[in-house]
C-alpha cells in the first residue's frame, strides 16, 4: 500500500474520538495490563537497546518524580560610564565578538546577557549601557541603574577608564555600591602595558578594594581577573535558591500592566506589592504565602515581560532574568490575559515560555468585569485562533481588582497540579497504545510502517512518555497520541512530553 492508498491520517486532527476506548481500557485489570506489558518488554530483547534505555524501563515504577528546580546561573553585571570599554571587556570574557564595540560613547543602550564559561564555571555576563552624565537627571538615573545592578546581580564589575581616572559620575555611583553587600570588583581598563599600571593605583581611593588592571582591547590581565571573579561568584544565582516541599509554588506571569500585582494583593488580602497604571512597576519577583480555600500557596508576582529583551531599558532587562528564574522555581504558572485588549504576540510568547519550562498552566482572563458583548465575541475568536495549542489549559474568568470569581482559581490550580503529577501504570499505557494502534495504525511511509514496540511513562512533572519504535513516527501521529491521552486520562492543565526512541532489530548471528 502506497502513501496515497493509506486511510485518513489520524494525526491530521480530523479523526473522531473512539467513545468505547475508555470503556475497553477500564475493563483491563491491573494484572492483565502487567502481563501484556511484560510480553512487550520481552519482545524488546530482539532489538538493539542502549544502556539508558534499560534505565528508563527499570525506573518506570519508582513513583512520583522529585521536582528539580532549574538552576539559575550566577549573574555578573559589567557596569560603568560610557566608552570605558565595557562591551570590549564582555567580548574578552566570552572569547568571541558578541557585544557591539565602537569608539563612540553610548553605543550600548540596551542590556544584553550572554552565557560565559571560564575554567568549567558557567555564569551569565550582562553588558549594560553607560551612565550618561545628564545634568538634570544624573542623580535619578545613576541611582536607578546602580540599584538594579546591586540588587539583581550576584557580582559586579565596575569598569573605569584608567587613562582618565575616576570622574564625578564614578564617585557618585561608588557611594551607592559601597552600601551594598554584593561583591564589587573595580576594573582599571585600558592598561595596555606595565608603564600604565601606576596610574591605575589611584583607583584605590574609590574605597572598593584593589583595582584589577586589564586591557580589554589586547586581553592583558583578563585571565587573572576572571580567575578572581569565579572565586566570588556563588554556585547558583540568588534568584533561584533551591526549595523542595512546602506550599505549592504558583508563578504569576503576563505582559506588563495586565494585573498580576493586583491579583497577588487580592489573594493576600493586603497591599503587598506596588500597583500603578504605569506598566512595569514590579522589578523583582515577590514571594508571598497566601491562603485560598483553606490551603496555603506560595505566590510569586513577577515583572511583566516586554516584547523583546533587547528593547528593554534599565530595570526591565533584569526583571526578565528574575521572571525566568521564578518560573523555573514554580510548579504551576498562572498566565494573566487582559480581556479588554486583543490577545497579543507577547501573550502567546509568555505561554510558550511556560510550555518550554514544562510547568503546569492555568489561563486567567482578567478584567472580566470590564468586558462588553462586542469584545466578548472577538475574544472567543482570538482564543480559538491564538490559544488553540493550549486548549487543554483550565480557563478562569476573574477580576483581580474586585476579587470576582477568585474562588475559581483554586480548583483550576488543583486540577492542573494533579495532572502534572499524574502517572499512568505501564500496563495501562501499553494497553492504551495497543488499542490505539489497532484502530488507527501509523500510515505507511516509503513502503514501511513503523511499529510501537513498547511504551512507558518515564517521569511526571511534567508527564513524560517514552515510545520505543521500529521506525520514525510522524509528528502528526505523536500529536494524535497526545490528544488521545488527554481524552482518556485528562491531563488538564499539564503539558505532555512524548519522546521517541527508534531501535533496530538485532542481526542474527550464524
Alpha helices in 153-255 (DSSP H): 168-177, 197-200, 222-232
Tens digit of each residue's pLDDT (9 = 90 or more) over 214-254:
988 888 899 999 999 999 998 877 654 444 456 888 998 88
* pLDDT value, residue 285: 39
**C-alpha pair distances (Å), 502 with each of 48, 431, 483, 499:** 10, 20, 22, 10
Domain range list for the chain: 3-64+423-502, 75-232, 240-419
Query: Does the domain spanning 240-419 belong to CATH 3.40.50.300?
Result: yes
Whole-angstrom distance, CA of residue 472 vs CA of residue 451: 9
HSE on the CB side for 152, CA within 13 Å? 30
* pLDDT value, residue 133: 53
pTM of the model: 0.62
Contact 114, 91 (CB under 8 A): no
* pLDDT value, residue 309: 40
CATH (residue range 75-232)? 3.40.50.300
* pLDDT value, residue 176: 74
Place of cell 518488554: 41
* pLDDT value, residue 141: 52
The number of angstroms, rounded, from the C-alpha of 100 to the middle of its chain's C-alpha atoms is: 27
Low-confidence ranges of the chain (pLDDT < 50): 1-9, 12-15, 61-70, 99-111, 135, 139, 142-143, 240-244, 271-286, 303-316, 318-319, 510
Tens digit of each residue's pLDDT (9 = 90 or more) over 460-493:
999 999 999 988 999 999 999 999 999 999 999 9
Alpha helices in 208-283 (DSSP H): 222-232, 260-268
Contact 442, 473 (CB under 8 A): yes
Tens digit of each residue's pLDDT (9 = 90 or more) over 176-216:
777 777 899 999 888 888 777 777 888 888 888 889 899 88
66 burial (CB, 10 Å; 0-12 / 13-18 / 19+) is exposed
* pLDDT value, residue 376: 92
* pLDDT value, residue 284: 38
Contact 358, 317 (CB under 8 A): no
Whole-angstrom distance, CA of residue 303 vs CA of residue 318: 9
CATH fold match for the domains 3-64+423-502 and 240-419: no
CATH (residue range 3-64+423-502)? 3.30.300.20
Amino acid at each position: 500500500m502506497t502513501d496515497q492508498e493509506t486511510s485518513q491520517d489520524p494525526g491530521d486532527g480530523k479523526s473522531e474520538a473512539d467513545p468505547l476506548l475508555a470503556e475497553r481500557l477500564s475493563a483491563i485489570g491491573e494484572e492483565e495490563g502487567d502481563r501484556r506489558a511484560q510480553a512487550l518488554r520481552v519482545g524488546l530483547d530482539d532489538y538493539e537497546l542502549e544502556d539508558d534505555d534499560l534505565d528508563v524501563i527499570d525506573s518506570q515504577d519508582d513513583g512520583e518524580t522529585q521536582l528539580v528546580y532549574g538552576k539559575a546561573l550566577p549573574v555578573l553585571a559589567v557596569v560603568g560610564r560610557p566608552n570605558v570599554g565595557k562591551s570590549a571587556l564582555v567580548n574578552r570574557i566570552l572569547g568571541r565578538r558578541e557585544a557591539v564595540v565602537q569608539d563612540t560613547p553610548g553605543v550600548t543602550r540596551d542590556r544584553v546577557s550572554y552565557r560565559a564559561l571560564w575554567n568549567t564555571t558557567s555564569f551569565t555576563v550582562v553588558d549594560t549601557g553607560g551612565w550618561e552624565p545628564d545634568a538634570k537627571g544624573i542623580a535619578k538615573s545613576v541611582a536607578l541603574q546602580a540599584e538594579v545592578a546591586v540588587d539583581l546581580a550576584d557580582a559586579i564589575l565596575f569598569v573605569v577608564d584608567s587613562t582618565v581616572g575616576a570622574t564625578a559620575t564614578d564617585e557618585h555611583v561608588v557611594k551607592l555600591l559601597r552600601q551594598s553587600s554584593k561583591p564589587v570588583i573595580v576594573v582599571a581598563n585600558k592598561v595596555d602595558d606595565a608603564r600604565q599600571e601606576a596610574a591605575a593605583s589611584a583607583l584605590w581611593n574609590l574605597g572598593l578594594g584593589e583595582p584589577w588592571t586589564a586591557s580589554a582591547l589586547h586581553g592583558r590581565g583578563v585571565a587573572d581577573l576572571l580567575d578572581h571573579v569565579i572565586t566570588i561568584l556563588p554556585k547558583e544565582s540568588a534568584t533561584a535558591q533551591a526549595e523542595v516541599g512546602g506550599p505549592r509554588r504558583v508563578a504569576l506571569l503576563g505582559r506588563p500592566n495586565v494585573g498580576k500585582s493586583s491579583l497577588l494583593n487580592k489573594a493576600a488580602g493586603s497591599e503587598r506589592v506596588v500597583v500603578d497604571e504605569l506598566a512595569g512597576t514590579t522589578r523583582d519577583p515577590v514571594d508571598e504565602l497566601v491562603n485560598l480555600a483553606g490551603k496555603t500557596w506560595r505566590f510569586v508576582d513577577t515583572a511583566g515581560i516586554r516584547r523583546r529583551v533587547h528593547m528593554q531599558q534599565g530595570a526591565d532587562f533584569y526583571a526578565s532574568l528574575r521572571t525566568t528564574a521564578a518560573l523555573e522555581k514554580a510548579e504551576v504558572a498562572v498566565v494573566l490575559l487582559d480581556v479588554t485588549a486583543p490577545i497579543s504576540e507577547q501573550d502567546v510568547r509568555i505561554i510558550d515560555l511556560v510550555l518550554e519550562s514544562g510547568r503546569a498552566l492555568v489561563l486567567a482572563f482578567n478584567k472580566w468585569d470590564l468586558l462588553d458583548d462586542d469584545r466578548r465575541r472577538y475574544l472567543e475568536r482570538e482564543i480559538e485562533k491564538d490559544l488553540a495549542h493550549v486548549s487543554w489549559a483550565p480557563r478562569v474568568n476573574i477580576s483581580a481588582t474586585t476579587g470576582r470569581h477568585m474562588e475559581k482559581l483554586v480548583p483550576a490550580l488543583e486540577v492542573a497540579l494533579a495532572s502534572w503529577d499524574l502517572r499512568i501504570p505501564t500496563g495501562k499505557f501499553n494497553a492504551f497504545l495497543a488499542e490505539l494502534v489497532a484502530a488507527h495504525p501509523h500510515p505507511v511511509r516509503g513502503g514501511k510502517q513503523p511499529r510501537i514496540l513498547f511504551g512507558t511513562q518515564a517521569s511526571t512533572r511534567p508527564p513524560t512518555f517514552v515510545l520505543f519504535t521500529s521506525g520514525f513516527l510522524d509528528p502528526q501521529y505523536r500529536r494524535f497520541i497526545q490528544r488521545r491521552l488527554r481524552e482518556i486520562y485528562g491531563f488538564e492543565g499539564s503539558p505532555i512530553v512524548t519522546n521517541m526512541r527508534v531501535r533496530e532489530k538485532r542481526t542474527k548471528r550464524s
